[in-house]
Structure formats: C-alpha cells, structure tokens
A and B are shown apart, each in its own frame.
Chain A
C-alpha cells in the first residue's frame, strides 16, 4: 500500500484546490504517523516542537522538519538492513552532506512518479539521451550524489546514454557536431545540472562563438540557481543562450532536492513551476513560520507523498519563493504553481568565540 492514491496516477496534474487539500492532508497525516512510529528522531521533534500532534486539520498545520537536519542525523523509518540505496546531497568539500536512505519500495515509487511527471512534459517516447556531464559522476553505484542520482533517474527517459563531457569536464565540439549530424532534426534529450551546463557547455560555446541547430531537442535541467544567481545569469538569459547557440526552444527547468527525489517540480512552457498530485508547497513567513497568502515571498515548505523509508515527506527548505497561482496556469495543469527566488542569505552573528582560525 502506498501513501499516495493510485487513482491520481494517470493524470499527475489533475487535482484541483479543494480535492487536493483534503487528499494531501489525509495522505500526509498518514505519513507523519508512520514516521512518528518508525523513526525515534522524528518522534522527538514532533513531541517537542509540534505538541506531539501528527494529525493536521489543514495544510498549514502539517508539521515540518528543517532540511538541514538530514546533515546532522541519519534519519530512517526502516531497519538498516532494508536500505537499498543511500543518496547524498552535493555539498561543497568540507561541508556536511545530507544522507537519504531508500528501501526498494521508496526508490521504486520515486522513479515511477518521476516518470509520470516528466512524461507529462516531454511525452512518453524514449529519446536519444545525452548527459551534459562526465561519466565519472556515476562511478560509485552504492552511494549516489544528487548529481549521480539525477542522471540515473532521468536515464530511463532515454534510449541509450552518452556523457558528452570528458573527465576534465571539457566539451568536445567535434563530438557535438557528430551528434547534431546523426540526429538531424530528430527529437533528442539533453540532461544536466544547471550550473554544469552553463559552465561547461554554454560558456565555451559563447566563447568560441560556435552555433548549432538542434531544432527538436529537449533540455531538462535542475540543481538550483545559487551559483548562477551569483553570476547574475537568469533563467531567461539561460534559455536565450540555449536558443541562440544550440537552436533549442524546449528548455525545462525543474526544482527538487535529494531529500524529495521523484516528486519534482517542473517548469512548464509558460515559465511556471508546478506542484503535482504527489506534492505540495506551502509558503511560510521566514521569521514566524506562519503560512503566507499567494503572492507573498517566504520560505518554501515542500511536501511529497513518496518518502516512506525516511521522514522527508514535509520539509522546510532554505529557499525563498512565492505561490503565483493555483489551478489556472495557461498550460492547463491543475495545482499550485510557484516561483523560486533562491537561498536565504547567511547572517553573520556577533559573539566572542572565534578569533584566530577564521580571520
């Protein structure tokens, strides 16, 4: 038995406001209860911070845990011998990484739902698949980085798989020309991480002023805008460069995190990022954590109905965003759609306990 309903499976963007709220609250309550009984750490948090109450009456009262906590503790709602795969977030070296533990069932559901969502945007036909990354990213099969997990997850939408960067993350123009020639006007799929694509494909092409025409190709990318925001590269500019240098119009960005693989949030043709039947977002005031009305910017709380093996079904992210609308996107998909403004800034706090090391 799953915590999401199979009946909403065929059409992953079918649920509208009232039905969805009911369904998300009920399903999420069941998940909260499951983790409360199976994961002692999760239970402690609910006891201390949420008055020991897992049964939410409405969306905003669904309890949440900070995304950071997966870096501090190994949180499991299964026995250790049931772990089939461990995923880690891609932290910069020296930083703690999140560790997410999957059993067979959760891993299966993740790929099933990912499939449903992605096919809704690019169709169900398997496409020649080109990864804008180096093969070394997936060399370790037991433990996956977010990058590796993403590549493997999306590989199922492809026929075959080719990594188009070498191990030094260099693009071969010659190979790109061959691919272009071999797939003349055919629908092919490029996949990669936003920053990697910019750094190792789009920047070199701009520098060399080398242009291609992949007219019917589709690009799917994710991983966040933190580094590109620092470089002042916007989503629009990113798309523009893709069009100008590779001739690609269909560039889809998705928002997701290793803590909630599968039920990702996809950007539609109209630039809106959509929740599906398997996910929900709640925007909270970044200080009081009170729910904010549509249009107001706050912290994004992410709900996914997939995490069973670890208590990650309701997470308070460190990203700021706002809900743009609900059930009325021109693309025809139901559910809330939202915008993301990026990670909250780190505050420097005062204090007398660091003199020497960090100066």
Chain B
C-alpha cells in the first residue's frame, strides 16, 4: 500500500483538537501514521484545507425502498447519465442514483463512509447486494425494529422492560442481517397504519393486537441497544413526522429516552409547533434547549433544500399524506412483521410557506445549536434533497451574506416565523464543518477509526482548495484519499475501490433461537433457518465493530 505525506495543509481534525494548524499528515498501509520514509509519495497541500473523509450518518442509498424509488423515476435520471470508462461502471444519477453512481459521487464529494439508515431486516440480502455494488465508500446499514411484531411479543412479555430475551433478540437480529445498528421508525405507528390506516396520537396509545405502546417500544429497544453497548445508540425517527404540533411528540420521545444514549434522525421534520391539521410553526429552539441539557442525545438535521427531492421512508403513512397532497406518483410496500415503505417524489418550493418554514427550521437547528457535536449535517438524502446539495448547505452555514440572500427568496411569512431574521449572524467555521460532517457522525456511530486523523485512524482524508465560495470548495475536493490510496484527484476518480461493509456484533445467548423460531413460524412466510444471511459473498469484506457491553 502507498506511503504518503500530505504536506503543509491547514488541518482541521476536531476530534484531536487540531483547528487549522499547518502540518503534515502521514499515511501508510491504510492508516494515519506519525511519520513516513523519505521515499513516500508527497502531496503538496499548502494553502489547502485537510479534513478527515466525510461521514454521512443518515442517508438512504440502498435496499428495496431506494430501488423502488429508482423504478418510480426513470424520467428524472434520463438527463443525468454516467458513462463507463476503463476504470468505472456506467450508471445514472438524478436524486436516487444507481449504485455505482452513488459510490462515485459520494467519493467525488469527499465522503468516505455512509450509513443507509433504514433497512428492513427481511431484505438484508438485497441491501447487502446493493451495498456490494456501491463502490468507493465504506458503508453500514441500520435495521428497522420499531414495528417488529416478534419484538412486540417480547416487549409485551416483559411488561415493557428490557429483558435478557429482548436483548438477545436484538443482538441476534444484527448478527442475522449484518446490520450495524438499530433504527426505530414511527414506533408502533407503522403497524397501526398497516392495520387500519391508523396513527399514533400519544406515545401511550396501544398498538392494537399487541398490547404494547410506542413508549414501551422506545424504552425496551432503546434500552436493549444501550445495555448491549452497541457502537451506535438507538437511531430514532420519532412518531408524527411532518405534522404540525409534532414537537410535543418529539420532546416526549426525548424525555422517554433521556439518560440513555440516543440519536434522533432528521430532527427538522419533527420540530413543528401549531395545531394538528393547521399550519406549522417552529419549535426548534425548544428542542435545542432540551439537547443542551442532555448531551446523551444527538441529532442529524434533515435539512430540506429548495428543489426536487424524493421522499423515501419506512413511515408509510407519511407517504400516503404526501400522495394525497401531490396527487403524484406513489409507491407503498408493506413488509410482513417488520415495517412499511412509502415513496413520493416531492419538490420543496421557496415560495411555499411550509417548505420555507422547513428550510428555516433546519437552519435554526444548525445555527442556534450550542454544540456542533450534537447536531449533525444531513438532508436525509433524498428526502430533503440529494447528498449532492451538501456543499450548498455548507455555504448556507458558513456564509451569512449568501444565507440572507437565500432567505430573501423564500416565503417571508415563514421566515418571520423562525429566528433567522433576528440577527442570526453565526457563520460556521471550517472546524465546525469538520465536526458536523465527519468528526461527530463518526464518534456517534462508534467508528473509532474514522472521522479523525490521529495515529491509527483510517487513512480517509479529503483535501480542499481553500476557496471563498464554500459551495464550490466543498463540491470539488482537490484530493480524496480512501484507505490510504488516492481515490479522487481534481474531480476525477483515480481508482475503483469496493469499500468495506461495517457491521457490529454483540454477544447473545444462542438459545434465543428457541424463542424466536416459533414466533417466526407463526408470523413470517420465510423459514426461520433461512432468514439469517450467511453468504460470505454478501458479508465480506467487512469490518465488525464489537459492542462494548
């Protein structure tokens, strides 16, 4: 492997308290090292900005839901082809790119690790197959557990407490699927919607037929993840996404999980005041205040960007609402025992009150938050916009004049309902950008080798020209080093790399199979013995992160 000295760059490595120091970064055998020999290749990074490779903690890039979104929108990728080369596979782009295009474009953006944030466990083979075809980046996926009927049975059995049996079942599921972490989407609510187009009003509503409540699901599965010591805490998509007044639900969910580690996905979509059915208002400041008092809870923002998006979610009732709102394309897919799925193409319009409010709330979360380690960058790709819009979002955060210009183009009534016009003059520093795009996500994911440039870290490094136009700067890294090898130079991919699958492992009592097998027999149409993914071709190359518990 290459020995490499990245010489004289302005290094931003917040995990190691390095904030813009001019120094060398040395790389050998895929890791950051203290020194390399005189014959090491050199990259002159003087005048450039050096950061760890980007880490996306929440995106939707692979699996049946994402693939259904591709099937739904051939028209929108027709004009965005990707030609094959001697090195690269062809593909198509658009908001939901083909797998190869996804890997290449993340790499060209300086990202080296991406988490698929919502995978049905039953479809793990499909997810893994797609991830194998997503090159250049290391990737992990979170498995959906918030509406799993088998887990509901175990939670009811334990009276909502974390039982050893439940803990074992969660660990078993991770082992069976190759998943990295646990995701709860609208806990209990998706099952209710599949039952009767119903929904959750309160965390104490009972999920009909199962004798459990969303609060019990949060406490029991969140508690199991916590007790297992999984590298990433429970990742929560709270109930009532997108509804006016949902901040009450979000705060209740946060209070329920307080004291345990938890990560809240796309918080922007859960920060609305107002009355149900009415026009939303921002309650982002209240949520931030809660976060300030609870460092054990983190969030990614789920910023919406004006323009086209594709809403792809396991929260199928949200999609049904958007279907009725847009009268446009709509896919629904119900997955037995485990989850739902909905897809609706959607356009966020600057002149629309709700869309402009969503945009403003996202910026509030970024700009009013006190601790960038707690509030991370995401657009919930492709729900709030493509990951390709990250550079523009970074410019919005770093460039007040640009932000104000963009605010001026948005629905003014909505903007007035946010804190943005109140002299919110904060501009993110490069170090803060490094925190919200790599250091904090890596730390929150429990990826100790990523998101920093300390000795022994993965040699995933992104080098940018230090341009005044931050959008241009972050859209076109000068170099991307992945695993110690030069992956991108001047906007061109220099090598094809498969990337690693990241999965986690926690010990469990194998006798849990005796508990699960009859429940599977009762509920699934797949035999219990055929459910776990054992195929080496799907699970390798992998890096397994052990639980701390």
A and B assemble together: no
Q: Chain A interface (Cβ within 8 Å of chain B)?
A: none
